[in-house]
Amino acid sequence: MIKPGEDILLALGGGAARGVAHIGVIRTLEEAGYNIRGVAGTSIGAVVGGIYCAGELDPFGDFLQTLDRRGVFRFLDPILPRAGLFAGMRLEEMIAGFVGAREIRDLALPFVAVAVDVANGDEVHLNDCPLVDAIRASFGIPGLFAPKGLVVNGVERWLVDGGVASPVPVGAAGEIAKLPIVAVNVNRGFERPRVLRKRNGKSPSGPSRMEQFLDDERVPKAARDFLGGMLDARSGKEAASGTQEVEASWAVSNWLGMFRTREGSRSPGMIDSLYNSVVLLQHHLARAQFQVTPPALLIEPNLEGVGLFDFHLGEALIEEGRRATLEKLAQVDS
């Protein structure tokens, strides 16, 4: 069993908004004295892992805690349903605000993003391309986000969410170095912890948490510029384009609302059905993978009841990642 002070690798699993818990896991492992020497990530695990390896995890975590539900919808860009419901460009631009044009090879820590070639089902490990491209390819949930076209080893591939083949990328992490692997599976749990349903607190007066975030000079300037533009559009400070942004945000919010499970309904909505099916599939696939390639330590936050786009629960999700990690480390010490 691994002990504090040892070098470790992280395998961060997919799970949409549930993956915000990865931030709490990483912070707690570091506080406990573990030395993270590399990260493999699938989907949201690639988002958090890549941003961590770029040294921007703290401002990204702070940003997530400023979001409300409508703020989440602002980063979704509907397209005509052909290859997916959303283009994913706004999310890509938001991530680029934090990581810039960094190449994976230039990161302070080794990083691998896992994606899947939609044409032949091959699991693709991305470790030699622009970081934002690798992250975007890895989080392309089939049916929701359009596949990402990317040239890999001289061959153009159309890539989708790595969770299709490797929901918790223990194998990819093992390719980084011969070190103990800490795996984080956020698709576990069949209870509904009420703490995760509360919204982030908002001050009734004074600057919003987003406005405070945009005034923080520790946040990369590109991220502040991009997010500030989104905030200006919401408040109507940009006359023409601002009105279009507000209308688009309301349209996305109302459109997605049609697909959510209604309160008291016995029949789940379309997106809820799709997402819950993906969660169950990835949970069972991850269990099978752990039997073949068991990690040195497995951390599984209890996140049942957290929906696909529940990023506005950032504070509670991070805290659940912290709680689950402390619980697991206590077992290691006992």
- Determine the Cα angle at 194 with ends 314 and 264, to 5°: 110
CA–CA gap between residue 62 and residue 220 (Å, rounded): 12
For residue 309, give the DSSP letter.
T
Q: How far apart are alpha carbons 61 and 41 in whole angstroms?
A: 17
Residues 34-68: b if buried by 16+ CB within 10 A, e if exposed: bebbbbbbbbbbbbbbbbbbbebbebbbbbbbbbb
Active-site hit among 117, 161, 166, 310: 161
Cβ-based neighbour number of residue 231 at 10 Å: 20
Whether residue 43 lies in the annotated active site: yes
What does the DSSP 8-state code read for residue 187? S
44-53 and 57-64 helices, crossing angle to 10°: 140
Q: In whole angstroms, give the CA distance from residue 198 to residue 268.
A: 21
Q: Active site residue: 43, 138, 166, 249, which one?
A: 43
In order of 56, 75, 162, 187, 256, the CA distances from 138 in angstroms are 19, 17, 5, 17, 23
**Is the Cβ–Cβ distance between 60 and 179 less than 8 Å?**
no
Distance CA 131, CA 21 (A): 21
The amino acid at residue 3 is K
Structure tokens at 286: 């991850």
161 is catalytic: yes
CA 332 to chain centre: 27
Residues with a known catalytic role: 43, 161
